[in-house]
Every structure is written in structure tokens, then in C-alpha cells.
Structure 1
Amino acid sequence: MNTENRYPVTASMFMLREIIHRQEQVKRGYQLLKRKAEALRIRGRQATAELASTQAILGHTLKEAYISLAAIKFTNGEPNALVLENIGQAQVRVQRISENISGVATVSLQAVEDLTVGDVFRYAGLGAGGHRTGEAKKAFREAIRILVKFASLRNTCILLDEAIRTTLRKVNGIEKIIMPKLRNTENYILMEMDEREREEFHRLKMVKAKKIRSQTIAKLRPELPCGDNGDSSVSSDASSSRIRSLEHLTSILHPCTAPLSTSTDSMGDIKPDPACYPHNWDDDDLLF
């Protein structure tokens, strides 16, 4: 398995439990991030729709306000110098309200009218055009409120869009990189542990087969001849029969193509030639 698609860990039961626990945590975080992304998308769609309607209302309100200002200029002349000379404290103030949308901190703006501040232009236009002056003041005050609301919605949309992109980037990173790596690491650990078990089983099988073979050879080994020359022929016949039985039993224990050849030394001991070593034995060939 490619090491780039998994984490560099050792194949052990402890690491297997750690990887499984980490996978559970990653899945839980993945589900939470998906829910957060969905909630941010819903709130973003609502803010976008409200922003579009507010932008349409703002255009109509500003149009009406500038039309009323043109009417004042036509009736009373240019009022800019009078306005600039009598500027005091603002009657409309902007209040910041903190909001938390699915873990994203946003700031909404709200226009608040301060009634303690006196209106400098409440007596403006008493000589002529006072009605039009009052309409212009109301129109521009409404335009300020809509402008503040538009700025608040636009700021919220920008923050939500950035938060949605960041959340989706995390979701894709977990789904495409972290989770496949964890799965590949778990599969690697399981494969290595299975391979170790097979190697251990094969080693124990070889050891047991060698032990059985040694015990069988020790049982069939003939005793030393202790008689005269007449008994030597009898002992040689017994030794040959035992050698044949040894070959027959060895062929049963180890069905190999080459037969088991034996030789006797000067003392009469049998030395089997290990021509077929039990390295290709199957499970059925062993007497477990």
C-alpha cells in the first residue's frame, strides 16, 4: 500500500483502536460541519433575498428624496449654506448589535433616532415651502434608515459567504483526504496483523511437523546388533523392513516427488537423507 495514502503508523492492536476512535471523532465532526454549512446556506439565502428587496426599496426612496430636495431648491433656492452653518449633533445614530449565526460572529447595524437632540431646522421654510421641506426631511430620514439596513445586510452576506466557503473547504478536506487516509491506515494495520498471524501459524505448523518426524524416526530406529554372524542376517532383514516402513510412513507424512533415501553408518544407525524438507506441506498433510 502506498504510504502517501495512509498515516505512518505501526501495525498493532493499540494503533488499530486509536485509528478506529479517531475515525469516530472525524465522522462526528464531519456531520457537525455539514449541518453548520447547511444552516449558514439557509441564513445566507434569507439575507440575500432581504438584501435584494432592500436594495430595490432604497433606490425608490432615494429617488423620492432627491425629487423633494429639487422641489425645495426650486421654491427656496440653494439651502446648502444654511445647512452647513447649523450642523450640530446627529439625530439618527447607528447602533451595533452582535449576532451569532451557527458559530459565525456577525454585526448588524440598526438606525436609532435620538429624541434628546433638538431639530435645528424645525422652523425652516415657514416663510415659503415649509410643507415641502418637511417632506424632504422625512424622505431623507427614511433613506438613512434603509441605507443602514442595506449596509448591515451586505456585511452579513459577506461574512456568511466567507464562513460558508471555509466550512465547505473543511468538509471537503475531511471527506476527500482525512477519511480515506484513516480507512487506508485501518486496512493496512488489519492486513499486517493477518500476515503476522499466518506467519506464526505456518511457523508452528513447521515446528510440529519437524517434531512428529523426529519422534517417528526415533521410534523406527533399530537397535544395535549384539550377536554372532548368524544373527547379522536377521538383524539386516529387520533393518531393511524397518527402513521400508520408515520410507512408507515418510511418504505419507510428506508426499514429495523425491523418495526419502536412508543410509547406515558403521554402527547400524539409520541416517535419513532430508531430500524433501516440509516447506510445501498443506494443512491436510499434517497429523494435527
Structure 2
Amino acid sequence: MLQQFTQKLKSAAQGHSLLKTKMDALTMRRRALQRELAESRVVLNEELRNGFLELARTNFNVEVTYPWKQKILSSELEPTVLLSSETELIAGVRIVNLKIVREKNANKSGHWSLLRGFQNLRRTSEIFGKVVLMIAQLASMQANLANLAKQIKVTNRRVNALESIVIPRYEESISYIGKELDEQEREDFYRMKKIQKLKRNKGLADA
């Protein structure tokens, strides 16, 4: 029985070490992703500010009589951004990263190039095109952060259970069994000595 508990303690200690390594890897990845997300938000806010400034210039420079907004909204729009996903494994946890693909003909000028203020309109389109990409990437990062936080919480509970419950119980059982075996060994030794003494006394009496 002592050997069984010793083996269980060894397995629990190995599992604890692996889980700690996993939690450390997930925590490092989460911190890196948090920094990346914070930096991306700063850049996104700057791009949005630039985009709305350029949009204001477009509204001012494009012919007032030309309903360019209505033309854009009523025209047949083709997808300009395609998303594909790539899976990354971190300590056994799947992280999905979005890969952004922009079509080559995303920015068609056509008759827009004849408008006064076309350059403003083109720059506005480019800026908000970048904004769409960044929002998609931010959404991917936030989803990954939520997944990492969930996995870290689950792993941390398992680590705490091993540290606070499983390993101490095995250690306590091993200690108890060891004391019982020591006590039994002392009793056996005392009994053996007593038998030897009785045999010696009997031998002396027979002589």
C-alpha cells in the first residue's frame, strides 16, 4: 500500500508540474496579447480620427450637388475583405487567429475619379478599409483573450486542487502508513527479542 501511495504522489507531483508549466505559458501569451490589443486600440483610435477628418474634407470638397453617398449606398457592392482563420496551439489550447485577405480590385475608381475632391474620397475609403481590418483583428484578439482567461482559470483550479487537497492527502497517507509500519516493526522486533529470551531461559533450565 505504501508503494501505491508513493506512486500516486509521484504522478500527482508530475501532473502539478505540467499544469504549472501550462499555466505559465498561457499567462505569458495572455499578457503579450493584452499588450498587443492595447497598442492596436491606440492605433485604431488614431485611424478613426484620421478617417472622420478625411470624411469631413470629402463632404466639403466633393460637389455638393452630387449625391455620392446615395450612389455608394445604392450601388452593387462586392466584398472587399475576406477573412480566413489560422489555429495556433499554446500548451494544448487552441487559439484562432484571423488572417485578413483584401481583394485586388477593392478600390475601384471608375467614374468617381472625375469628381472634384476624388482624392479625399479615395483616402477616406482607404482609411476606413484599414479600420475594418483592424476591427476584425481586434475582435479576434478579444475572443482569444476570453478563451485564454477561461483556460487559465480552469488550469489554476486544478493546480490549487493538487496543491491544497490531493498532494497533502497522499503525503499524509504515506506518513501515516510509514508510522504504522515503523510501529509494527518495533513490535515485531520486541516480540522476536522476547522469544529469543524465552528460548535462552528454556535452554538454561533444560541444562
TM-score bracket, shorter-length normalisation:
0.7 to 0.9
Higher helix share: 2
| TM-score when normalising by structure 1 | 0.64
Q: Please say which of residues 180-189 and 29-38 is displaced more in the overlay.
A: 29-38
The CA distance in 2 between the partners of 1:215 and 1:136, in whole Å, is 114
- The structure whose RCO (Cα within 8 Å, separation 6+) is larger is 2
2:55 is aligned with 1:69 = yes
- Runs of 4+ aligned residues of structure 1 deviating over 6 Å after TM superposition are none
Instruction: Determine the structure 2 residue equivalent to 1:262.
Output: none
Q: Is the 8 A contact 1:109 1:151 kept in 2?
A: no
Task: Note the 1:265-280 alignment, pairs <5 A.
Answer: none
* Structure 1 residues 113-172: Cα deviation after superposition (integer angstroms, max 9, x where no partner): 123x66565432523221111111111111112112211222222222222222222212
Bigger Rg over Cα:
1
Q: Could you say if the C-alpha distance between residues 24 and 191 of structure 1 is closer, same or farther in structure 2, counting changes exceeding 3 Å?
A: same
CA distance in structure 1 between the partners assigned to 2:92 and 2:5 by the alignment: 29
C-alpha distance in structure 1 between counterparts of 2:106 and 2:184, whole Å: 89
| Alignment equivalent of 1:93, drawn from 58, 82, 97 | 82
**What residue number does 2:133 align with?**
145
1:111 to 100, 123, 126: 100
Q: Percent identity?
A: 26
Task: Determine which of 158, 180, 183 is the counterpart of 1:195.
Answer: 183
Contact 1:72 1:133 in 2 (8 A): yes
Q: Which runs of 5+ in 1 are unaligned?
A: 1-14, 220-288
- 1:69, CA displacement in angstroms? 2.0
Q: Are 1:43 and 2:32 an aligned pair?
A: no
CA distance in 2, matches of 1:132, 1:206: 107
| Cα shift readout 1:9-36 (whole Å, capped 9, x = no counterpart) | xxxxxx1111111222222121111111
Aligned to 1:162: 150
Q: Secondary structure at the match of 1:110?
A: strand
| TM-score of the aligned structures, taking structure 2 as reference length | 0.86
CA contact (8 A) 2:63 2:115 kept: no
Return the alpha-carbon distance in structure 2 between the equivalents of residues 16 and 123 of structure 1: 86
For 1:245, the equivalent position in structure 2 comes to none
User: What's the CA shift for 1:213?
Assistant: 4.9
After TM superposition, list the pairs within 5 Å mapping 1:241-252 onto structure 2.
none
Residue pair 2:2, 2:177 contacting (<8 A) in 1 also: yes
State the shift of 1:56 in Å.
0.3
CA–CA separation in structure 1 for the residues paired with 2:24 and 2:8: 24
The more displaced of 119-128 and 63-72 is 119-128
Match of 2:8 among 7, 14, 22: 22
Question: Which position in structure 2 is the counterpart of 1:283?
Answer: none
Output the amino acid matched with 1:40. L
Please report how far the alpha carbon of residue 59 of structure 1 lies from its aligned counterpart in structure 2 after TM superposition.
Answer: 0.4
